[in-house]
Amino acid sequence: MKLRLKFFIIYSILSIIPMFILTNYCYQRFRAITNARVEAYSRSFSRNVENQIENSLNDISNILNYLTFYTDKDGSSITDQLKKFNNNGLTWSTYDYYLTHKYCTAVFKNLMQLNGSVHGIYLFSSEATLIGSYGNQSSIINTDHNISNDIWYQETLKTEKDYYITTFLDNNLFSDNKPSLYIARRIYDVYSHEYLGVLLLDCDPNVFNIENLITMPFSSLVYIINESTGETLYSNVDTLTYSKGNFFDDDTRKVKLKISPLSLHVSFNYKNLYSQLNPNTYLLITTGFILILIALIAIYMVTRNLILPVEQLSWAMSRQSRNGLTFVNPYPKRKDEIGNLYREYASMLQKLDDLIKKQYKNKLILLDSQMKSLEARINSHFLFNTLESINSMAEIDDNEDIATMSLALGNMFRYSIKTQSELVPLSDELKHVDDYVSIQSIRFSNRFHLIKEIPDEITDENVLKLILQPIVENSLYHGLAYCTSGDEIRIKAEHDGFDLLISVSDNGKGMSADQLEALRSNLSEEPQFTELGHRNNQSIGLKNINSRIELYYGKGYGLSVTSEENIGTTISIRIPMTSKAAKEFT
């Protein structure tokens, strides 16, 4: 799994889970408050609907009761009018009917003016004869209609003291078919409880209308049922069955009304109530998801910007094996840890590149030095044969000096062309010096002598080949000035910690301060590689020896020079001891 994906998952878990928990907590609290508001609204709405319908029914009930118990100033009442027509055996004239009708019309008219929801009031005797009526233009009754066979009349007779309520009359009692609410009731004598007749009220169908209470459409279902007939007298929704079964919840609140056998039923669409009472519920959820989405995008961007430098550095490091040690820092101005990492990596690559170049250069310089030291090996067999011939001729002629010089020179050439190893024992290096000195002693008539102060335990120490003889030669030519300024060359060797220190001293003319400083400066310069086959004057002698030692053993090793004018010069060689010698020394 990539680092960017790991960081994205970790940051997402640390950020999204608390946001999700907080959103869920807010939603649950919001939901609880909404439930409480819905419950409070449903209780309040049911109570208000019940009160309004009860008030409407009370008004109608009061009209019926008023007509039953009303007595005018002359002591006459509706029941008195009905009693006259229930006196069997008596014949009533048209005038008597007129007076009764006139009396009833005056009373009915006054009542209708007090209650605008009543369109007409009709009074029938026990023999189903209309004896009094009053109605507006929409409630014109057919006076010649016999109601004794009407269903509503027969059902009213069965109700005894209850009301018979219906929304339609299956007859032609009225001259027009208008939507109305019909309420019929039997009238009894207050004292004898004798059945006197039937009172019919034609009411406005909106007497139960509760639309003014519905503040949230499609959230409440209100309907009134006649329990005795099962007829729905009122509903605020057109299709009751569909709405009840598919739109509203099943937990309907049922209330028995004061006018029997009516019952009030109230049902709610709680889903719609939730959305209308708290429309911000879905907004809260949507906002939560949007915030989570924004957080994910922000986390992705932050993770990308945070990990991108690391990915770029990883990609650059993986490409180094292909492109070489080349790197361009894309964040040179960053001061944070990323900037430090890039700068350190760039610095490391630069140092590594410099080191590789330096090692390659040192190898070339070492190769050049080796080539220089091997130049003398050309035509070596011819030279050896010639020197052997000279030596043989000198011995035949009994010329000891020539024999010695030719033998020593042959030994020197033989030593110089050995190629088994760059390292040789110090004893071999000293023998090479002895051969050189024997030749120069004969040349300069023994006017100088070589003194060696070498402990026996050091003679087996390995040293770099051909480093002593050039220094002795330098002392003879420059220090002793061909035996004109001194006569002694001294070689000393000793342990200096874990290093081997070899010094070559002379008692010659020495060097001035400027000469000594120039020589030291020359020795301290970095080794320079010249094209193979090319030579300069500084490529031989002390500079060559110092370069070879430094390249082979590393920095800190090589030559050091001390000199005093007219006193002498000392050239010291510092090289590390082999592991065996170091172990014996410790």
Cα torsion 334, 337, 339, 342 to 10°: value is -170
* Structural domains of the chain, with CATH: 13-199 (3.30.450.20), 211-277 (no CATH), 421-585 (3.30.565.10)
Contact 208, 53 (CB under 8 A): yes
Q: Which residues contact residue 434 at a Cβ distance below 8 angstroms, ignoring those fewer than 6 apart?
A: 450
User: What would the two tokens of residue 510 be?
Assistant: 């020495």
pTM above 0.95, yes or no: no
Q: Tell me the C-alpha distance between 460 and 475, whole Å.
A: 25
Q: Burial, 548: exposed, middle or buried (Cβ in 10 Å; 0-12, 13-18, 19+)?
A: buried
Cα torsion 208, 214, 218, 223 to 10°: value is -20
Q: Which residues contact residue 471 at a Cβ distance below 8 angstroms, ignoring those fewer than 6 apart?
A: 504, 542, 545, 571, 573
Q: Tell me the C-alpha distance between 436 and 447, whole Å.
A: 15
User: At residue 261, what are phi and psi to the nearest 5 degrees?
Assistant: -105, 40
Predicted local distance difference test score (pLDDT) of residue 532? 43
Q: Burial, 582: exposed, middle or buried (Cβ in 10 Å; 0-12, 13-18, 19+)?
A: middle
> How many residues make up the chain in this entry?
586
- Counting DSSP H helices and E strands in the chain, the numbers are 16, 16
Contact 219, 269 (CB under 8 A): yes
Predicted local distance difference test score (pLDDT) of residue 537? 44
Beta strands 181-188 and 163-166, pairing class = antiparallel
Q: Tell me the C-alpha distance between 418 and 458, whole Å.
A: 22
Q: Tell me the C-alpha distance between 194 and 192, whole Å.
A: 5
Predicted local distance difference test score (pLDDT) of residue 493? 94
User: What would the two tokens of residue 476 be?
Assistant: 């003879």
Strands (E), 518-567: 558-564
Predicted local distance difference test score (pLDDT) of residue 533? 45
Predicted local distance difference test score (pLDDT) of residue 250? 55
Per-residue pLDDT of the chain (586 residues; tens, 9 = 90+): 666 677 777 877 877 788 778 878 877 887 788 788 888 888 888 888 888 888 888 888 888 777 777 777 777 788 887 887 776 656 677 787 788 888 888 888 888 887 778 888 888 888 888 888 888 765 677 777 788 888 888 888 888 767 888 887 766 777 766 778 888 888 888 778 888 888 888 888 788 777 777 777 677 788 888 887 788 888 877 654 444 445 565 566 777 776 777 888 888 777 777 777 776 666 777 877 888 888 888 878 877 777 777 777 777 777 665 555 666 667 777 777 777 787 787 778 778 777 877 777 777 776 766 666 555 444 455 566 666 667 777 777 777 788 787 888 878 877 877 767 788 999 999 999 998 898 888 888 889 999 999 999 899 999 998 899 999 999 998 988 888 888 999 999 999 888 999 999 999 999 999 999 999 998 888 766 554 444 444 434 788 899 888 888 888 899 999 999 999 999 999 999 874 544 454 4
Q: Which amino acid is at 114?
A: L
CA-based end-to-end distance of the chain = 55
User: At residue 8, what are phi and psi to the nearest 5 degrees?
Assistant: -65, -45
H helical segments located in 195-336? 240-246, 270-277, 280-318, 320-323
Predicted local distance difference test score (pLDDT) of residue 243? 46
Q: Tell me the C-alpha distance between 586 and 584, whole Å.
A: 6
Predicted local distance difference test score (pLDDT) of residue 536? 47
Predicted local distance difference test score (pLDDT) of residue 564? 93
Residue with tokens 């002359």: 74
Predicted local distance difference test score (pLDDT) of residue 575? 94
Q: Tell me the C-alpha distance between 364 and 530, whole Å.
A: 9
Predicted local distance difference test score (pLDDT) of residue 372? 60
User: At residue 499, what are phi and psi to the nearest 5 degrees?
Assistant: -110, 160
Q: Tell me the C-alpha distance between 119 and 115, whole Å.
A: 9
C-alpha distance from residue 161 to each of 1, 195, 226 (Å): 87, 10, 15
In three-state secondary structure terms, 432 is: helix
Q: Burial, 501: exposed, middle or buried (Cβ in 10 Å; 0-12, 13-18, 19+)?
A: middle
Q: How many CA atoms lie within 13 A of 291 on its CB side?
A: 15
Predicted local distance difference test score (pLDDT) of residue 334? 75
